[in-house]
Structure 1
């Protein structure tokens, strides 16, 4: 629903504004159907834990600060 807050638009101006809003909504709907919900996948915390991280070797604690 569109509500005019200020002014007194003509029917042609109102129709033009409505056409822009409808075109924008159609473009957004078409773009979202093309993608595979990337924002939801991007923010998924399980995405970080899917890969094994390298584990330190047996003497890694000795090499963390002091050069050998």
Structure 2
């Protein structure tokens, strides 16, 4: 069941959103039926992508390396 929590979508917008959800569910069901292994998390959401290098060392301008390694 899908419930609209905020906003007031038009019938066309709601139909488009439901079409995407149904297509995704059908693709997942087809992959399971074919025996494909379940997909892992996407690469963009992996925490290792953010911290690939060494942790920043203290020193001048170390704040520039504190979140996104170069």
Alignment TM-score, normalising by the size of structure 2: 0.50
Q: What are the ranges of 5 or more consecutive residues in structure 2 without an aligned counterpart?
A: 39-70
Once residues 33 and 11 of structure 1 are traced to their aligned partners in structure 2, the CA distance between those partners, rounded to angstroms, is: 32
Q: Shift of residue 29 of structure 1? A: 0.1
| Structure with larger Rg | 1
What is the Cα deviation at residue 24 of structure 1?
0.3
Measured after TM superposition, the shift of residue 32 of structure 1 is 0.4
The TM-score, its normalising length taken from structure 1, stands at 0.52
Matched pairs, number: 38
- Please give the residue correspondences for 1:44-55 in structure 2 after superposition, counting only pairs within 5 Å: none
Cα RMSD, aligned residues only: 1.5
- Structure 2 counterpart SS, 1:4: coil
4+ long deviations beyond 2 Å = none
CA distance, structure 1, for counterparts of residue 33 and residue 13 of structure 2: 31
Cα shift at 1:6: 0.4
Aligned counterpart, 1:5: 5
Q: Which runs of 5+ in 1 are unaligned?
A: 40-68
Residue 22 (structure 2) aligns with: 22
Partner of 1:46: none
